[in-house]
């Protein structure tokens, strides 16, 4: 007797195909990508087994861009064209990066207060473009692991990233050809990874100290709901600053001038980072600085000395912790646990000071470098539709208040900071002059009272207001913040129904035309990129073929080949070697196949000779008896 499978009308019994999704942690010093397999989130590695991708991009003249480990050497050899820590410049105007610009070798190019570009041999590159290169490499890694192009990604951003910085991240993803399911705050992503892994309900603090940014978030986790109660931080403070403090001490102790070249600055920073990492495990370490002009300095640096240098910077992170607790209305006694996120939390002094502040031992159960990407991968898997039965809900918040300019240069807050998103808020305004038919709307972000102390996001006008006595018009301005923390604003005059709308695009972000142009370029050069990849694969194949032939000739060439045969093989190898240096992929492939044909007889003789030598002194029955034993 057979069983009938019964389903609701219109419902399919076949399981929908699993869609490819990934979580990306776009970091200041390192980035990584993760995905969910068999219900478990895991970070994906490159061909060499490295999970972390250095967030470094090197531009070269008329050559492909180098990203990650391949670009690291350029920080010393070619500092002007090797970009690192670009996350610090995302969505910032030139005036905001002045302090950082003084410490970096780059030549910044900007008009007014737009987002600065960095002059390189490949042209003027924006931080958004450099970030897109990093995202593209991570997406390729994930696509290779999952067997096809990604259907969607969740990209993490610091909780304290404002609208301009989030929009810049979104633009970078668009240029990289990625479908962004959501921009997720890094502490929230970490809480997802930790909460689902441990099932810990209660109020949690996520302390996230990365390479270039610091965030602290207070969250409540209960029955699958992650609710961010408050967030605070500093998007220009991180492990890079700890390295710089150690580097400045080294230069001062060595008595070297502070105007040393860019290559030497990179050397000192790299040495400082190595010392910081060593002192996380050791009580002291030797540092030896060698400058390009031959000057050498060496000394022992103890953990206690290092802690004195970096303590003021770490203590700066505690003020945002106090602010986040205050904004959340949470007492220290209510904190269930503190979760440590970001590679810089490996520094013992960070864990010590955080533990003292919160009066508890911080949790470091999950690798602090991976936890954000793992949480993003879990969220991506849900948003892409691979877990339709999931009831997990993320309630994030906006980090800074949003509002409008009013008379007297004041800011009227429409959406206060730490408001749960997505959110829509509206407020009514009116005219201040008789007969006024237009209204200029200035959108701001920040916590100060004067507009000069807050960030200007956008300006637009509402026209067509019917002429009335001042104060009679009713103008409703609506703010809408989506789940990614991106803002749109609309204005409507209620009596006549005229309205205006703007999708916030900060003046120092990329314009739609610029993003479209970059996307168009990526399509235009797609064929060229594929051809370059195929050529490189053929060149590697040629190298392997030539190396194998050279080794075989060295071992058996004199014994198994006559002079004419050796000359013929040598000539075929010379042809392949010449084509290897060129860029004709088809000719190179043909030369490889020709050499393989020419060497087939030699290969057969070597195999026969190997078998004869193995059988020498034995009877076939000896091997048969061994097989039957």
Positions annotated as catalytic residues are 25, 87, 186, 208
Give the C-alpha distances (Å, rounded to integers) separating 144 from 30, 65, 141, 539: 20, 20, 5, 21
Coil, helix or strand for 507?
coil
**From the CB of residue 461, how many other CB atoms can be counted at a distance below 10 Å?**
11
Coil, helix or strand for 603?
helix
CA distance 566 to 592: 17
DSSP string, 28-83: SSEEEEEEEETTEEEE---TTS---EE-EEE--TTSPPEETHHHHTHHHH-GGGEE
Identify the burial level of 442 via C-beta atoms within 10 angstroms of its C-beta, where 0-12 means exposed, 13-18 middle and 19 or more buried: middle
Residue 266 CB-half CA count within 13 A: 21
List, in order, residues 6 or more apart from 220 with CB less than 8 Å away. 202, 203, 204, 226, 227, 229
Q: What is the CA radius of gyration of the chain?
A: 31
Identify the burial level of 604 via C-beta atoms within 10 angstroms of its C-beta, where 0-12 means exposed, 13-18 middle and 19 or more buried: exposed
Counts for the chain of helices (H) and strands (E), in that order:
19, 28
Whether residue 487 contacts residue 419, with contact meaning beta carbons closer than 8 Å, is answered with no
Strands 225-234 and 393-397: parallel
Tokens 């500092």 found at: 79
Whether residue 210 contacts residue 236, with contact meaning beta carbons closer than 8 Å, is answered with no
Comparing CA positions, the residue from 479, 354, 332, 315 lying closest to residue 413 is: 479
The runs of H, that is alpha helices, within 456-562 are: 512-524, 526-552, 558-560
Whether residue 287 contacts residue 250, with contact meaning beta carbons closer than 8 Å, is answered with yes
393 bridge partner residues: 225
Residue 548 CB-half CA count within 13 A: 14
CA distance 458 to 444: 7
DSSP string, 383-408: HTTS-TT---EEEEE-SS-EEEEETT
Whether residue 156 contacts residue 150, with contact meaning beta carbons closer than 8 Å, is answered with no
Whether residue 191 contacts residue 337, with contact meaning beta carbons closer than 8 Å, is answered with no
Q: Which two tokens stand for residue 393?
A: 């809900």
Comparing CA positions, the residue from 7, 33, 49 lying closest to residue 377 is: 33
Q: Which two tokens stand for residue 495?
A: 């009596």
């Amino acid at each position: 007797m057979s069983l009938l499978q019964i389903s609701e009308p219109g419902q399919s019994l076949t399981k929908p195909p699993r869609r490819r999704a990934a979580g990306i942690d776009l970091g200041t010093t390192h980035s990584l990508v993760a995905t969910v397999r068999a219900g478990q989130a895991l970070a994906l590695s490159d061909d060499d087994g490295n999970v972390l991708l250095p967030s470094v991009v090197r531009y070269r003249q008329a050559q492909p861009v180098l990203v990650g480990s391949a670009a690291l050497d350029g920080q010393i050899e070619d500092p002007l064209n090797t970009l690192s820590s670009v996350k610090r410049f995302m969505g910032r105007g030139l005036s905001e990066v002045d302090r950082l610009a003084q410490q970096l070798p780059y030549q910044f190019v900007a008009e007014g207060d737009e987002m600065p570009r960095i002059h390189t041999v490949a042209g003027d590159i924006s931080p958004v473009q450099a970030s897109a290169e990093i995202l593209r490499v991570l997406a390729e890694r994930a696509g290779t692991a999952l067997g096809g192009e990604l259907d969607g990604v969740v990209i993490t951003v610091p909780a304290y990233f404002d609208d301009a910085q989030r929009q810049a991240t979104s633009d970078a993803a668009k240029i990289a050809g990625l479908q962004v399911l959501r921009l997720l705050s890094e502490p929230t992503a970490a809480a997802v990874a930790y909460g689902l892994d441990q099932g810990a309900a209660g109020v949690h603090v996520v302390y996230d100290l990365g390479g270039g940014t610091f965030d602290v978030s207070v969250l409540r986790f209960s029955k699958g709901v992650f609710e961010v109660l408050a967030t605070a931080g500093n998007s220009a403070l991180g492990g890079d600053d700890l390295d710089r403090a150690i580097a400045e001490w080294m230069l001062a102790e060595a008595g070297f001038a502070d105007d040393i070249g860019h290559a030497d600055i990179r050397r000192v920073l790299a040495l400082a980072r190595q010392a910081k990492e060593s002192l996380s495990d050791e009580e002291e370490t030797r540092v030896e600085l060698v400058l390009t002009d031959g000057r050498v300095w060496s000394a022992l640096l103890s953990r206690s000395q290092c802690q004195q240098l970096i303590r003021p910077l770490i203590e700066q992170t505690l003020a945002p912790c106090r602010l986040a607790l205050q904004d959340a209305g949470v007492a220290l006694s209510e904190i269930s646990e503190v979760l440590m996120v970001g590679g810089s939390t490996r520094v013992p002094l960070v864990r010590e000071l955080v533990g003292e502040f919160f009066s508890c031992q911080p949790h470091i159960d999950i690798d602090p470098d991976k936890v954000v990407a793992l949480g993003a991968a879990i969220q991506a898997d849900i948003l892409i539709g691979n877990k339709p039965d999931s009831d997990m809900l993320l309630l994030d918040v906006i980090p800074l208040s949003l509002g409008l300019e009013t008379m007297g240069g004041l800011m009227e807050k429409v959406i206060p900071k730490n408001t749960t998103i997505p959110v829509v808020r509206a407020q009514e305004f009116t005219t201040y002059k008789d007969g006024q038919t237009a209204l200029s709307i200035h959108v701001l972000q920040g916590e100060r009272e004067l507009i000069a102390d807050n960030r200007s996001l956008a300006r637009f006008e509402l026209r067509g207001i019917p002429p009335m006595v001042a104060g009679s018009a009713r103008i409703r301005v609506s703010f809408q913040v989506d789940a990614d923390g991106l803002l749109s604003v609309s204005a409507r005059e209620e009596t006549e129904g005229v309205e205006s709308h703007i999708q916030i695009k900060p003046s120092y972000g990329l314009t739609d035309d610029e993003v479209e142009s970059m996307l168009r370029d990526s399509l235009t050069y797609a064929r060229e990129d594929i051809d370059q990849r195929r050529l490189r694969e053929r060149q590697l194949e040629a190298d392997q073929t030539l190396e194998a032939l050279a080794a075989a000739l060295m071992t058996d060439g004199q014994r198994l080949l006559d002079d004419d045969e050796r000359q013929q093989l040598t000539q075929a190898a010379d042809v392949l070697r010449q084509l290897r240096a060129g860029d004709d992929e088809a000719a190179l492939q043909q030369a490889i196949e020709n050499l393989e044909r020419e060497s087939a007889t030699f290969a057969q003789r070597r195999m026969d000779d190997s078998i004869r030598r193995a059988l020498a002194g034995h009877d076939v029955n000896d091997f048969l008896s061994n097989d039957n034993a």
